[in-house]
């Protein structure tokens, strides 16, 4: 995990130095008026509850074999992405420049604004909705939050469950928001939970 070896905040064209880059085709331009002040925390595993197989990479790069697992038929044809994924060991992959709009939030609303994709950075944690996350993931997430804040005017941190209540449950009750607040040192008022 070379990313933790240096201070967060070294960027080129919205791509963070010190993390793995795997560009996704699933992104678009942000609206000219976008103020990227929201971090959205998600949880993902493919198939659900299975970790480390590379299926999330394949989903975000439109290379998932829809016939490889019965669950994949339920998401067949989905074109989604996030800016970042943090795996169970704390490794960080970036798929979309933070200057661009990743397709992670779907129908959503936070701080009085619709379409959270427009002005947020999406961070996926490899995990199961409602499950627990690894210490290395919290360390990397706190580091990544601080890194993003050097490139964007971050003032809000929410889960997918907060911006799309009733539609999305992640990261869920197993996620320790207090730990993230403590590790970032950010004000409690910035956090949805």
Q: How far apart are CA 139 and CA 37, in angstroms?
A: 21
What was the pLDDT predicted at 1? 54
**Contact of 53 with 46, CB cutoff 8 Å:** yes
Q: How far apart are CA 149 and CA 38, in angstroms?
A: 10
What was the pLDDT predicted at 3? 72
C-alpha dist (Å) from residue 174 to 19, 130, 131: 26, 5, 5
124 in catalytic set: yes
Q: How far apart are CA 163 and CA 181, in angstroms?
A: 18
- Superfamily name and number for 2-190: Peptidoglycan recognition protein-like (3.40.80.10)
| pLDDT in single tens digits along all 193 residues of the chain | 557 766 777 999 999 999 999 999 999 999 999 999 999 999 999 999 999 999 999 999 999 999 999 999 999 999 999 999 999 999 999 999 999 999 999 999 999 999 999 999 999 999 999 999 999 999 999 999 999 999 999 999 999 999 999 999 999 999 999 999 999 999 999 999 8
Selected catalytic residue, list 7, 55, 79, 124: 124
**Contact of 121 with 183, CB cutoff 8 Å:** no
What was the pLDDT predicted at 2? 58
What was the pLDDT predicted at 93? 98
């Amino acid at each position: 995990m070379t990313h933790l070896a240096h201070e967060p905040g070294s960027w080129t064209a919205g791509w963070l130095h010190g993390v793995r880059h795997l560009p996704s085709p699933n992104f678009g331009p942000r609206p000219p008026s976008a103020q990227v002040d929201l971090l959205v925390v998600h949880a993902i595993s493919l198939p659900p509850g299975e970790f480390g197989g590379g299926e999330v990479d394949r989903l975000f790069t439109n290379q998932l074999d829809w016939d490889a697992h019965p669950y994949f038929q339920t998401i067949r044809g989905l074109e989604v992405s996030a800016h970042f994924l943090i795996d169970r060991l704390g490794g960080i992959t970036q798929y979309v420049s933070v200057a661009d709009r990743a397709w992670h939030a779907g129908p959503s609303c936070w701080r009085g604004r619709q379409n959270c994709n427009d002005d947020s950075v999406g961070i996926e944690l490899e995990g199961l909705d409602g499950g627990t996350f690894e210490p290395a993931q919290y360390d990397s997430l706190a580091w990544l939050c601080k890194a993003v804040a050097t490139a964007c005017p971050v003032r809000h941190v929410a889960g997918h469950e907060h911006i799309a209540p009733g539609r999305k449950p992640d990261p869920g009750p197993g996620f320790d928001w207090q730990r993230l607040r403590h590790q970032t040192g950010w004000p409690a008022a910035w956090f949805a939970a």
